[in-house]
Amino acid sequence: MDLSTLWFILIGVLFIGFFILEGFDYGVGILLPFIAKEDRERRVVINTIGPLWDGNEVWLLTAGGAMFAAFPHWYATMFSGFYLALVLMLLALIVRGVAFEFRSKNKHPTWRKTWDWLLFTGSFIPALLWGVAFGNLTRGVPIDANMNYVGGFWNLLNPYALVYGLASLLLFTLHGAIFLYLKTAGDISEKARSMARRLWLPAVVFVFGAVIYGYFETDFFTRLGINPGASPIIAGGALLFTAWFLKNKKGGWAFVMTTLTIAFSAITTFMGLYPRVMISSLNEAYSLTIQNASSTPYTLTIMSIVALIFVPIVLLYQGWTYWIFRKRLTAESELEY
């Protein structure tokens, strides 16, 4: 395996980790105004992710940094072409982070309700736009021979990308509902389970709809064939089994199922892209690949050594964080947010 392929896989792993961990964060934020009505219940919901959300976003920062260093042309083309969408996402994430910190600064109901809805907005927009972004990556965008994006903002809001975005939005929200079911006890937990059961069918419809639509809008059919391998089958099967585990109150297994769905959906996406990193809709020859978009072998070698040292440390630290904050929360728990 050459270093370009290795770093393509590593960036894929970083995005998968981000979507799994930040996915339930987004879901919890989206569900906040609907599951919890009283202030103390809302504080319980926020506290389930309060100690975790900023650590989960480190996966995105690391993925972006790795993309910049390993595939600078991919980074430059994507971040310039998707500039307005990424700025919108960044503003949403800023609002979301501020909402976590400012909500508890004033006890007035209007103040707290305003920040709760801003937390909802700051979770809803990224959950939707991440799907839109990856939908465009798989479908292809206008890229010329000089690796420049030559389309506009509205090119990104095509029907396929929007279906892909709604699929990611519903899947993350379902993931968050199951996390809340696991992380809380009492009335909130039951509300979360009930919400997860209601979200399951729309998530199935849009996720499977995005897959079927993708076989018409992308070249995945010709590249992967009718039998695309185990990855999408595992993703779809896990999503279907989620309903059974929810019905039988096996929240841990339901969370494992949505985790597998997110992970193997992302794996399928990267499989369909490889060895490309961005597909040109103008001419296949203009597509960015792991060869023409990568850094020098020396850079990739240094990065590999650094990753070998520091990635295990980050994983151990984050694992320790989850262990420390593993307990279920109830309305009687000591709250901070």
236's tokens: 């779809």
Does 88 map to a domain? yes
Give 111-151 pLDDT, tens digit per residue: 999 999 999 999 999 999 999 999 999 999 999 999 999 98
| CA distance to 8, 71, 73, 262, 278, per residue, from 1 (Å) | 11, 17, 21, 26, 21
Using DSSP's 3-state secondary structure scheme, residue 226 falls into coil
Low-confidence ranges of the chain (pLDDT < 50): 337
User: Is 24 part of any domain?
Assistant: yes
In tens, the pLDDT along 260-299 reads 999 999 998 998 898 999 999 999 899 999 999 999 999 9
Domain membership of residue 80 (yes or no) is yes
What's the number of domains the chain is made of?
A: 1
Residue 336 domain-assigned (yes or no): no
Give a yes or no: residue 294 inside a domain. yes
The pTM (predicted TM-score) of the whole model is: 0.92
- Domain of residue 58 covers 3-324
Residue 331 lies in a domain: no
Residue 120 belongs to a domain: yes
245 within some domain: yes
Contacts of 295 (CB under 8 A, 6+ apart): 69, 70, 71, 72, 303
